[in-house]
Amino acid sequence: MARNDPQKGIKRTRKIKILATLGPVSSSKEMIARLLRAGVDAFRVNMSHGEHEIHARTISAIRAVEKELGRPVAILCDLQGPKLRVGKFRDGSAFIRHGAHFTLDRNPEPGDETRVQLPHPELFGILQKGQRLLIDDGKLRLTVIRAEPDAILCTAEVGGTISDRKGVNIPDAVVPVPALTEKDRRDLAFAIHEGADWIGLSFVQRPEDVAEARRLMGGYGALMAKIEKPSAIDRLDEIIDLSDGVMVARGDLGVELNPEEVPPLQKRIIEKVRSAGKPVVVATQMLESMIESPTPTRAEVSDVANAVYDGADAVMLSAETAAGQWPVEAVTIMDRIAAKVEADVTYRERIHLAETPPDATTADALSEACASIADTLPIAGIIIFTGSGITARRVARERPSAPMLVLTPSLRTARRGALLWGAHTVLTKDIGSFEEMIAKGKRMALRHGFGEAGSRLIALAGVPFGVPGSTNLLHVVTLAGNELDKHDKSND
């Protein structure tokens, strides 16, 4: 990507980011550009659907638009993960009566109203009496009566029609399947080859799942653990520690938990991930009705607003932008909701209800000081010089009132920052001295609309420059009107 031209670029006024899924209705270069202009900051490529050739064209289109618009864009390749499904039925489907017995077995013969194959032999050794099996996103609910080596006898607590290859959720047990299937491993290698900035790891149950994915990534890209299994909650702290970010994937989480359990759990996850100084995304069914309707429901608007009030780094659109009839409108409305919430006089108070005490490090102490200064003085922006992005994440953790201008010589860091709360990332040449830092910081602030003559800024960096994790310098500067005239723009 070319370095940012001052005549290009998209500058958001809101702090929370929008992650949009691309699909059949939105993967063209023209639509990607429209979505970016409407408010998208990062794109999700869903590896559950489509061939690698199609995904490669989509990623290429994103990069082409990124270059044209002069704004770093994050790409998240979302792995499918293990999918548990029943086998096939004699007539394509069957009806299970409420209270009737139903058996899941190893027999590959087509099923009927009394039984069907469960083609996952690893499950027969773990299920116990009283545990639940949820079929077709919970539309059918079975309870285990007796589990044997070759058959699992259940009773239908909630019956209904069951058809070929419907999904199975098992909320009461840790399922002994790896988080990465063979398909996922191929998709992961593809995503790394194509330069994805984030990898979404689905159906994480244990920290070992995250560790395995990191090993396969070989240090490339950032890993986002998707929390959609109740078993992940028991080891949430360990999973957060091993991940670069976390997604609250409320689809399967809402199937396997009681509905009333999901909202407080969402808030708890956001708080924990924020405290760790890592991006957290809230996803699934945020504006679901806009797949077919040009306007959302009031409940959906409140759902998006609550995620903004909770201080999430990003909110995600799924089928709304991938296959819906109103993709641009969905982004536009999400952008409007976020902007309205952040303009609310109670917003600052609400996002700080979750405490994020700093660690006993110089970087954390200075990051907290940035937020405190911005609350005390009229600060137009916080200029952060970073190579790895660590400093930007620590400052974002404090949710400062001033916007963050993140300057980095690393294209990888600039793109990954597109999912970071409050960060406007700019790709620029590295700096070598304190004087150069201050001069460049002022020029870039004026160029990208962070203040005007007389505005005060905070500059945060580490000396010696270029050494990761060395943040030790905080400086308050005042902009002069001629800062841009001092050096030709090509020097940056």
pLDDT the model gives residue 7: 39
CA distance 490 to 492: 5
Q: Are 226 and 258 in contact (CB under 8 A)?
A: no
Q: Does residue 395 contact residue 370 with C-beta atoms inside 8 Å?
A: yes
Residue 486 structure tokens: 């001092």
Query: Structure pTM?
Result: 0.92
The domain 93-169: what is its CATH number?
2.40.33.10
Stretch (H or E) spanning 130: none
Instruction: Return d(Cα 128, Cα 176) in angstroms, integer.
Output: 14
Residues noted as catalytic? 44, 85, 226, 284
Would you state the pLDDT for residue 3?
46
Per-residue pLDDT, 141: 97
Contacts of 153 (CB under 8 A, 6+ apart): 101, 102, 103, 144, 145, 146, 147
Question: 246 in the Ramachandran plot: left (φ > 0), alpha (ψ -120 to 50) or beta?
Answer: beta
Half-sphere exposure (CA, 13 Å, Cβ side) for 167? 14
pLDDT, block means (10 residues), the chain with 492 residues: 51 94 97 97 96 98 96 97 94 97 97 96 91 95 95 97 95 88 97 98 95 95 95 95 97 89 96 96 96 97 97 98 98 98 96 85 92 95 94 95 96 97 94 89 93 94 75 91 58 67
Predicted pLDDT of residue 483: 66
Number of neighbouring beta carbons within 10 Å of residue 192: 16
Q: Which CATH class for the 362-491 domain?
A: alpha beta
Domain with CATH 3.20.20.60 in the chain: 17-81+178-346
- Outline which parts of the chain fall under CATH 2.40.33.10: 93-169
Assign domain 17-81+178-346 one CATH number from 3.50.50.60, 3.20.20.60, 3.90.1280.20, 1.10.8.100.
3.20.20.60
